[in-house]
Chains A and B, each alone.
Chain A
Amino acid sequence: MADLLTITDLHTEIRLSGATVRAVNGISLSLAEGECLGLVGESGCGKTMTARSILRLLPPGGMITSGAIELDGTDLVQLPEELMQQIRGSDIGTIFQDPSTALNPTMTVGTQIAESVVVHKGADKQAALARAIDVLRLVRMPEPERVVGQYPHELSGGMRQRSLIAAAIACEPRLLIADEPTTALDVTIQREILELLDELRRDLGMAVILVTHDLGVIGGRTDKVAVMYGGRIVEYAATRSVFATPRHPYTEALFDALPELAVKGSRALYSIPGRPPDMRTESAGCSFAARCRYAQDWCSAHAPELDGDHPGHSYACFFPVSSVFGGGQAAAAIPVSAWLSGHDPSPRRSPAADGNGSSSGPLLRVTGLVKDYPVTAGLLRRKVAAVSAVADVSFELAAGETLGLVGESGCGKTTVARLLVGLEQADAGSIDFAGTDLTQLSTRQRRAQATGIQLMFQDAFASLDPMMRVRSILREPLLIQKAGRRRSHRRQVNRILDEVGLPADAADRFAREFSGGQRQRLALARALIQRPALIVADEPVSALDVSVQAQILNLMRKLQRQYGLSYLFISHDLSVIRYMADSIGVMYLGKLVEVGPAEAICAAPGHPYTRGLIDAVPVVTADPEAAQFGGGLSGEPPAATDPPSGCRFHPRCPLAQEICARQEPQLQPHSAAGQFVACHFPLEEAVSSPPPAGAADLPAAPSLS
């Protein structure tokens, strides 16, 4: 096959007022017609800048300083801007990360999809719109004739991303660049979008560059992978061989940091120490040397070339990982469901939960919690409807344990967190915390109870006052609760900084001077300084890179053991939940549909929705068939203003019967393991039993396809 795209020794720099960032530092790669390349790495590694360089759409100050990008023999770097414009949109299509910002809010979806047809084919309005409808049909948009005339805000997140894909392929490009196309979407939609991309690639014969930080997205869908670090490609090979035998220590570390690959017997995830390199300065040696577990003195003085010991698998390392001393665990394709069901050998029971102190019942007992948000309309802002955010939710959490709350966005899990920490008032129900019903307390009493429950937000930076130094931020809870003398505060701050792994001089700095992971450490330190019994963590790691995520998760587990802490851990990511939680609660549209021990739920989910969530988790495997495994869920949750009658899940449920629309199922004991499921037709254990290790042997889709 002839190569469609060849990049040779590309250097891209971004010149800022004070410094020059070497965003892309000499990369070479090639892509054949119809081939799919995965460009993977953590944020700031240069993967997005590589994609932008191909399009020649660089941020202000950005420029390609040397190298060639040949598309079909034409060097795009040398092309005048007018000719480059003819290539963008016609030969190269682009999909952006966030469909809510990449669509113009004041233009109809149809106009934007048709834009490239108008620009490149000179189509008139009529023909362009007709094409837009065709393309929308191609991306399997329901009611394309209606959607072309709608504005982006009228569409759901998944439909917006479909529109964006439609806009990218409207001129049938030969190369499609997808920059984190599913990162902003829910897992369930993520899977649908990835499958759509696969299909379009086959049908239209496009080559695809899939830029992502998520190895699960790459595996099984790409032909080859380029792993980037510090603006360079550090490993470049067929997807199968990278997943089977990663040779670069960085690639190996990325795999080891994945919670879904946490191996039996290992107590903690592998986390890459330190931070990504400063791309403003050129280092003499290997840019990964400072963080590499195998680095020798040689590595920091000499830069390794990208080559390999056998053709087709190249890497830039002097001491590559081999099966002999490498610790890589990525060797086997592990279907997530198999991993999820695996027995966890490291029970996280804290001493407190082990018997002696636990006879007094659970630390937290939530009963019948309800929260509605009014929707007003009309001249007098009368209440016309209510968003049912949390509807009759009950669960328990024992001291020293972790309850993982999982569900799609808008399912009400964040509202539960806000109710627990007192940011919202419950409309009904009780929150029993350490023997006190928090909903019955006066404001003053409630404030005093705050020492017991603390909160971590997803965006740590937004939760830290930008005008305050770290010392003041950490001291604030002590001052509010008038805990101890002022003199002892200094000591407490220093101690807590040490516990979360930050240097003592951090106390005199501002939050903006820290990296994302460090900021989350600060948020954890603030939550912890009063020694609460419960920390409510709302998506604490979802904004972080995999390696940093592993650091935070490990730290949280360490501190839990140390202090007998309880966590209510909220995440959309089942693999993270699985790594952290003793028990799991699954929420759908404000309802708790399943709750029980983590192992039991992952091994044999009782609710069809739980099954669907598990199936939607991307599988870290190079095996295309394993990647296709499972049925997943289709569609998106309906609006919570008008929840479906009966079981709220029934419109999306493959097993739904007539009774489901009529009668609401209650949480019922499901298994001996202590699972509770709210479903008229819960899944039998036999049907959903964990598949054997070989993914290829699996039934195509158990019960849900």
Chain B
Amino acid sequence: MGSAAVAILVAMFAFCFLGPLVYHTDQVHVFFKFANLSPGAGHPLGTDADGDDELGRVMVGGQASLEVGIAAGLLAAFLGSLWGAASGYFGGVTDAVMMRIVDAGIAIPTIVVLLLIVTIYRPTEPVLVLVIAATSWLSTARLVRAEALALRTREYVQMVRVMGGASPRAVLRHIAPNALGTIAVNVSFQIGNAILILATLSYLGLGVQFPAVDWGNMIFSAVQTISSGYWWQIVSPGVAIMLVVVAFTMLGDALRDGLKSKSRGR
């Protein structure tokens, strides 16, 4: 399962970043006479309402989706791990307050918060990374805190005290390395999730802004003419999103299964 996921990811990266070097298309100009062509010779995946080639557009659009998705996923996992670890480490009232903040953050649907934020700031790629990370770190925080609490009671962590070591050592040498696996699994899920969120934002017209392109706003454009039945304009970017997210989800699952069998020790 893990190797299949890696294969899909490698293929999709090559497709998005190396593909345009091989398959040259003009994604800047508008060609009305080629608008909405169905898939066929010259345009394997058809064209969109502006007459741009779909295949080339899926390649270029993927660059923004992958860049923002990976950056936001990593940032979210990083912020969440810090928050969760701090909450678990301090415990007591600090922990209760920090976790209630997470509860409240999780209670508001992510997409609503995002809508609020992007109405205030003009969504550029860096802003989108920050904004998506700022709404996604909550689940990681919860997970890492639970993991830290569980690890704290492990006998090999207690042994540090028996050997006369101080808590920083227990945290840095034992808790952090052992939580790393769980965090790695979470990073994979977070990236998949960030790609989904970006696509959804763009689809709502609040993500990557014209003339920049990503998979989400490709579908946004296509939905405007949905009653005309130009299915290829929706299916092509839709399949691309799905493949990448499936791959990151499978990768996360595979990592988690591997981790489980590793910690069993037999």
Spell out A's residues near B (CB within 8 Å): 421-423, 446-451, 453-455, 457, 459, 461-468, 476-477, 480-481, 511-512, 526
Top-8 shortest CB links A-B: A450-B164, A447-B164, A463-B155, A512-B265, A480-B165, A465-B156, A462-B155, A467-B177
Any chain A CB within 8 A of the CB of B122?
no
Asked whether A511 lies within 8 Å of B265 as measured between CB atoms, the reply is yes
Please, which residues of chain A bring their CB within 8 A of the CB of B178?
465-467
Shortest CB–CB separation between residue A643 and chain B, in angstroms? Answer: 26
B183-226 to A contact mask, C-beta < 8 Å, 1/0: 00000000000000000000000000000000000000000000
Please, which residues of chain B bring their CB within 8 A of the CB of A421?
161-162
Which among A467, A480, A526 is the interface contact of B164 at CB below 8 angstroms? Answer: A480
Shortest CB–CB separation between residue A376 and chain B, in angstroms? Answer: 14
A-B contact pairs, 13 of them (CB 8 A): A423-B161, A423-B162, A446-B164, A447-B164, A455-B159, A457-B155, A461-B265, A462-B155, A463-B159, A467-B178, A476-B160, A480-B164, A512-B265
Given contacts A462-B154, A463-B155, A465-B174, contact A512 B262 (CB under 8 A): yes
Any chain A CB within 8 A of the CB of B169?
yes
Residue of A nearest to B166 (CB): A447
B231-266 to A contact mask, C-beta < 8 Å, 1/0: 000000000000000000000000000000011011
**Interface footprint category on B:** 20 to 34
Please, which residues of chain B bring their CB within 8 A of the CB of A453?
162
Shortest CB–CB separation between residue B47 and chain A, in angstroms? Answer: 48
Given contacts A461-B265, A465-B174, A466-B263, contact A476 B155 (CB under 8 A): no
Shortest CB–CB separation between residue B125 and chain A, in angstroms? Answer: 36
Which among B163, B166, B262 is the interface contact of A477 at CB below 8 angstroms? Answer: B163
Residue of B nearest to A513 (CB): B265
Residue of B nearest to A536 (CB): B162
Please, which residues of chain B bring their CB within 8 A of the CB of A463?
155-156, 158-159
Interface SS of chain B: helix, strand, loop or mixed?
helix
B48-87 to A contact mask, C-beta < 8 Å, 1/0: 0000000000000000000000000000000000000000
Please, which residues of chain B bring their CB within 8 A of the CB of A466?
156, 178, 262-263, 265
Residue of A nearest to B159 (CB): A463
Asked whether B160 lies within 8 Å of A480 as measured between CB atoms, the reply is yes
Asked whether B162 lies within 8 Å of A450 as measured between CB atoms, the reply is yes
Residue of B nearest to A464 (CB): B156
Shortest CB–CB separation between residue B172 and chain A, in angstroms? Answer: 12
Not counting A449-B164, A462-B154, A480-B169, a sample of 9 additional A-B residue pairs whose C-beta atoms are within 8 angstroms of each other reads A421-B162, A463-B156, A463-B158, A465-B177, A467-B174, A467-B178, A467-B180, A468-B177, A480-B164
Residue of A nearest to B263 (CB): A466
Residue of B nearest to A449 (CB): B164
Number of A-B contacts (CB under 8 A): 66
Asked whether B265 lies within 8 Å of A450 as measured between CB atoms, the reply is no
Q: In the bound complex, how far is the Cα of B163 from the Cα of A465, in angstroms?
A: 14
Please, which residues of chain A bring their CB within 8 A of the CB of B174?
465, 467
Shortest CB–CB separation between residue B258 and chain A, in angstroms? Answer: 13
Q: In the bound complex, how far is the Cα of B170 from the Cα of A423, in angstroms?
A: 14
Spell out B's residues near A (CB within 8 Å): 154-156, 158-166, 169, 173-174, 177-178, 180, 262-263, 265-266
Which among B163, B177, B180 is the interface contact of A476 at CB below 8 angstroms? Answer: B163
Asked whether A422 lies within 8 Å of B162 as measured between CB atoms, the reply is yes
Residue of B nearest to A459 (CB): B155
Q: In the bound complex, how far is the Cα of B165 from the Cα of A477, in angstroms?
A: 8
Residue of B nearest to A460 (CB): B155
Q: In the bound complex, how far is the Cα of B266 from the Cα of A480, in angstroms?
A: 30
Given contacts A465-B174, A466-B265, A480-B169, contact A451 B155 (CB under 8 A): no
Q: In the bound complex, how far is the Cα of B157 from the Cα of A457, in angstroms?
A: 12
Residue of A nearest to B177 (CB): A467
Please, which residues of chain B bring their CB within 8 A of the CB of A481?
163-164
Please, which residues of chain A bring their CB within 8 A of the CB of B155?
457, 459, 462-463
Please, which residues of chain B bring their CB within 8 A of the CB of A447?
164-166
Q: In the bound complex, how far is the Cα of B160 from the Cα of A466, in angstroms?
A: 14
Please, which residues of chain A bring their CB within 8 A of the CB of B164?
446-451, 477, 480-481
Please, which residues of chain A bring their CB within 8 A of the CB of B166?
447
Given contacts A465-B174, A467-B177, contact A422 B161 (CB under 8 A): yes
Q: In the bound complex, how far is the Cα of B155 from the Cα of A462, in angstroms?
A: 6
Asked whether B158 lies within 8 Å of A480 as measured between CB atoms, the reply is no
Please, which residues of chain B bring their CB within 8 A of the CB of A468?
177
Please, which residues of chain B bring their CB within 8 A of the CB of A423?
158, 161-162
Q: In the bound complex, how far is the Cα of B158 from the Cα of A457, in angstroms?
A: 11
Please, which residues of chain A bring their CB within 8 A of the CB of B265?
461, 466, 511-512
Given contacts A423-B158, A462-B155, A467-B178, contact A480 B262 (CB under 8 A): no
Q: In the bound complex, how far is the Cα of B158 from the Cα of A480, in angstroms?
A: 14
Asked whether B162 lies within 8 Å of A462 as measured between CB atoms, the reply is no
Please, which residues of chain A bring their CB within 8 A of the CB of B169?
480
Shortest CB–CB separation between residue B184 and chain A, in angstroms? Answer: 12
Q: In the bound complex, how far is the Cα of B155 from the Cα of A465, in angstroms?
A: 9
Q: Which one of A453, A455, A466, A511 has the highest number of Cβ atoms from chain B below 10 Å of its Cβ? A: A466
Please, which residues of chain A bring their CB within 8 A of the CB of B263?
466
Please, which residues of chain B bring their CB within 8 A of the CB of A526?
159
Residue of A nearest to B266 (CB): A512
Shortest CB–CB separation between residue A479 and chain B, in angstroms? Answer: 9
Please, which residues of chain A bring their CB within 8 A of the CB of B160?
476, 480
Please, which residues of chain B bring their CB within 8 A of the CB of A467?
174, 177-178, 180
Please, which residues of chain A bring their CB within 8 A of the CB of B266?
512
Shortest CB–CB separation between residue A531 and chain B, in angstroms? Answer: 13
Please, which residues of chain A bring their CB within 8 A of the CB of B156?
462-466
Residue of A nearest to B174 (CB): A465
Residue of A nearest to B157 (CB): A465
Shortest CB–CB separation between residue A410 and chain B, in angstroms? Answer: 19
Asked whether B161 lies within 8 Å of A480 as measured between CB atoms, the reply is no
Please, which residues of chain B bring their CB within 8 A of the CB of A477?
163-164
Please, which residues of chain A bring their CB within 8 A of the CB of B163?
450, 454, 476-477, 480-481
Please, which residues of chain A bring their CB within 8 A of the CB of B158?
423, 463
Shortest CB–CB separation between residue B157 and chain A, in angstroms? Answer: 8
